[in-house]
Amino acid sequence: MAMAGALAAATLVAPAWAQSFRFDTVQVTGNQRIEPATILSYAGITRGEAVSAGALNDAAQQLRQTGLFESVDVVPQGNTLTIDVTEWPTINRISFEGNSRIDDEELAEVTGSIERRVYSPEQAEIDTAAIVQAYAERGRIDTVVMPSIIRRADNRVDLVFDIAEGGVTEIERISFVGNRSFGERRLRAVLATRQAGLLRQIIQSDTLVEDRLTFDRQLLVDFYNSRGFPDARVDSVDASLTRERDAYLITFNVTEGPRYRIGNVSVVSDYAGVDPNTFAGAAQLRGGRYYSPSNIDDDIARMERLAIREGVDFLRVDPEITRNPRDLTLDVTYHLRRGERVFVERIDIEGNNTTLDRVIRNQFRTVEGDPFNPRAIRESAERVRALGYFGDASVNTQPGSQPDTVVIDVDVEEAPTGSLSFGANFSSDDGVALVAGLQERNFLGRGQTLGFDISTSRSNRIFSFDFAEPNFLGRDLRAGFSLDYRSTKSDEDRSRLYDTDTFRISPSFAFPVSENGRLSLYVATEYNNITDVDDDASQVIKNEAEDAGEWTQSIGYTYTFDTRRTGINPTSGVLLRFGQEFGIGDRQFVQTSALASAERRVLGEEVTLRATVEGAHLYYNEGSSRVTDRYFLGSRIMRGFQSGGIGPRDADTDDALGGNTYAVARLESEFPLGLPEQYQISGGAFLDYGSVWDVGETYDADVLYNDYTPRAVVGVSLFWTTPLGPLRFNFTEALMSEDKDETRGFDLTIQSQF
């Protein structure tokens, strides 16, 4: 019986559905803004054409799918077809109510509904979800958004998003499972996401952002890879809410895999006419080191640069890695092959509304017509991002007009590059100093840096101006100009019984001379003056002040070798710096300075060890130095003493005279204290050993400690990193000192900007 009923129903419906209509007249009713002809074109019905009932239904659906109509009725009445529509209203105004954490302008950017456009409930729901997501990215996952409309005259509505902002759902704890080689504290330091801390209302990285977690997974893999774990992976990231739903617990599930060292390194050539021995010297990877993909990438880059110098085009270097699980080593073989003949047709740059094209092009070592090198393009993209001028920068390749050409598309999004700051510094040497500064890293979109800084304290007045063009004449040549003025006043406690004024102008040029080496050349004009010398001051200073203000012209150079910039979150680094300045005017002198510093992380990279040796010597061919020229070792160079607290001193007046030579060695460490990581507090210990000596001309004054007299200081440090500025507390004890030295048992440094 059931089957028979179904067959009967089908028999009745089929003829009705197949029934055809022919209309002499088509009427459109209910429309206010949309023309009848437009509605008929959407419906696809023509007068006099035979249409079926199914076609009429399809016409109604087509009209509804336009999103222009709230309701559609297609009604056949004899020879007349009536299409009755109710148009969606026009949005008169969009407003946001209840929002205080995100302003209206930012919310308007994430919504797709537009004033004076047709209102769409579907779009309003999409906008609601976008607003909820915007709050979720700020950690407010409990935010509730309710869209509503207020009817106005002339079929218009006000679209209102009523927002109930929830509280911040912070990240209470970040933990790891499967990590054996590195502790949780060290791994947390790798991540962009942070646990909630004491200043959680200021720090924005303590909330859950899905995109940031994806980035964190890659950061962890890169961290392990760069330390000899080629099989390391992050299997999953679990984010769960606490029972109170006011915080997240995040767990990274890590598989480290075995740790490998480099075994044999070789270079072979499949490129006809290319001798692998020529390129073997460019491979600096050595056996015994822990595997790191960045070291292999560096070798490949060196070989490709060498190929360009040797005139070898389209060289492709393919690394082949052979595992030796038994002894946990990796053999690396660099295969030199001939790559595909592809040329760069052009470089297209978009999105740079402020930055000039040439600033971006300067980051490309490739120009139009050069052989296409994917690695060179990736390195250029990294240099564009490293400029810091753009919030986002993508570099992609597209097929060119010919099969053997490509087009490089550079799409950037401008970001703010200037800052105006007002703040305060505090140090035990100078007390409280008020500071103001203006910094612009992309002046007029030319990639130039411009900076003004003013600082004033109880005893110092400092003004500085700096300007630099990083690509002078279109080359990797940094042209700079600096102007500095410093004025010191006599102290209220009479530790300094004279005033000084120093003014210096110095243009310079700096350029790379090796992969990690850079040379700077400069000329300088300097003015020094000693005034208002107290009658109780040292005879040495009185005699030096008789010469009044003096102008000095000089030329100089500084060579810097710095490996700290290489690698992914490197575990070690070396900084070497050597420079000389030569007086070429009436005051002929040679000033030589040197510094060597090495840093390494040990004990699962939880502890940082640092060793530094620095010194300088000032030699005058004729005459002698003045107190404005000589070195004074304050707490920045040797801790545990007052500014000018060690070194040559007048035996009668106790005035610090400074010295023409100083040498200091510093050993220090930084380590966790076991406090909750969100406090951002760590500890340190240090040992400083050194001295400053040699006044030069003494003018028959009795000068103490004019010869090398070493001092030694031991101490502990407390570091507290806050969003308002880094704080450092030093507690010191002098192990070796002289009777007239001015020691200091506590030193505090604070820097803050607002």
Q: Write down the domain spans for the chain.
A: 19-87, 90-164, 170-255, 261-338, 343-414, 418-753
Give 19-87's CATH code, choosing from 3.10.20.310, 3.30.430.20, 3.40.50.970, 3.40.50.720: 3.10.20.310
Alpha-carbon distance of 431 to 170, in angstroms, equals 38
More confident residue, 120 or 754: 120
The predicted-structure confidence for 408-430, as pLDDT tens digits, reads as follows: 999 998 888 887 777 666 555 55
Confidence class of residue 4 from pLDDT cuts 50, 70 and 90?
Answer: very low
The packing angle between helices 36-43 and 53-65, to 10°, is: 120
Give 90-164's CATH code, choosing from 3.40.50.620, 1.10.1740.10, 1.10.1040.10, 3.10.20.310: 3.10.20.310
- DSSP codes of every residue in 55-91: HHHHHHHHHHHTT-EEEEEEEEETTEEEEEEEEPPEE
The residues, any chain, with a CB within 8 Å of residue 265's CB and separated by 6 or more, are 283, 285, 286, 287, 331, 332, 333, 334
Helices marked H in 494-608: 539-545
Alpha-carbon distance of 181 to 300, in angstroms, equals 29
- Topology alike, domains 19-87 and 418-753: no
Confidence class of residue 131 from pLDDT cuts 50, 70 and 90?
Answer: very high
Q: Which fold has domain 261-338?
A: Ubiquitin-like (UB roll) (3.10.20)
The predicted-structure confidence for 565-606, as pLDDT tens digits, reads as follows: 655 556 678 999 999 999 987 789 999 999 999 999 888 888
What pTM does this model have? 0.70
pLDDT at 426: 59
The tokens of 290 are what?
Answer: 């822990």
- Please, what is the average pLDDT of the chain? 86
pLDDT above 60 (res 13): no
Alpha-carbon distance of 442 to 418, in angstroms, equals 8
Asked if CATH classification 2.40.160.50 holds for the domain at 418-753, the reply, yes or no, is: yes
pLDDT at 6: 39
pLDDT above 70 (res 205): no
Alpha-carbon distance of 351 to 389, in angstroms, equals 12
Q: Quick one: 170-255 is in which CATH superfamily?
A: membrane protein fhac (3.10.20.310)
Confidence class of residue 456 from pLDDT cuts 50, 70 and 90?
Answer: confident
Average of pLDDT values for 473-491? Answer: 88
State the Rg of the chain over Cα: 37
pLDDT at 5: 42
Determine which of 167-181, 333-347, 698-712 has the lowest per-residue pLDDT on average.
167-181
The predicted-structure confidence for 257-314, as pLDDT tens digits, reads as follows: 999 999 999 999 999 889 999 999 889 898 999 999 988 988 998 898 888 888 888 8
* Beta strands 703-704; 649-650: pairing state: antiparallel
Local structure of residue 711 (DSSP, 8 states): E
More confident residue, 253 or 3: 253
pLDDT above 60 (res 14): no
Average of pLDDT values for 128-140? Answer: 86
With CA atoms as reference, report the closest residue to 212 among 184, 174, 177.
Answer: 174
pLDDT above 60 (res 320): yes
Which helix (H) or strand (E) segment is 359 a member of? helix 357-361
The predicted-structure confidence for 400-410, as pLDDT tens digits, reads as follows: 999 899 999 99
Alpha-carbon distance of 216 to 188, in angstroms, equals 10
What are the distances in angstroms from CA 587 to CA 548, 559, 611, 622, 697? Answer: 14, 24, 36, 7, 15
**Most confident range, picked from 11-15, 53-57, 91-95, 151-155:** 91-95
Determine which of 208-212, 390-394, 541-545, 590-594 has the lowest per-residue pLDDT on average.
208-212
pLDDT above 90 (res 518): yes
The amino acid occupying position 548 is A
pLDDT above 70 (res 491): no
Asked if CATH classification 3.90.1150.10 holds for the domain at 343-414, the reply, yes or no, is: no
Q: What dihedral do alpha carbons 127, 132, 134, 140 form, nearest 10°?
A: 170
Confidence class of residue 195 from pLDDT cuts 50, 70 and 90?
Answer: confident
More confident residue, 51 or 338: 338
Determine which of 39-53, 92-106, 352-366 has the lowest per-residue pLDDT on average.
39-53
pLDDT above 80 (res 688): yes
Helices marked H in 577-704: none
More confident residue, 607 or 433: 607
pLDDT above 70 (res 753): no
pLDDT at 148: 92
The predicted-structure confidence for 32-85, as pLDDT tens digits, reads as follows: 778 888 888 888 777 667 777 788 888 888 888 887 887 888 888 878 888 888
Average of pLDDT values for 158-184? Answer: 89
Alpha-carbon distance of 371 to 600, in angstroms, equals 40
pLDDT at 565: 61
pLDDT at 703: 93
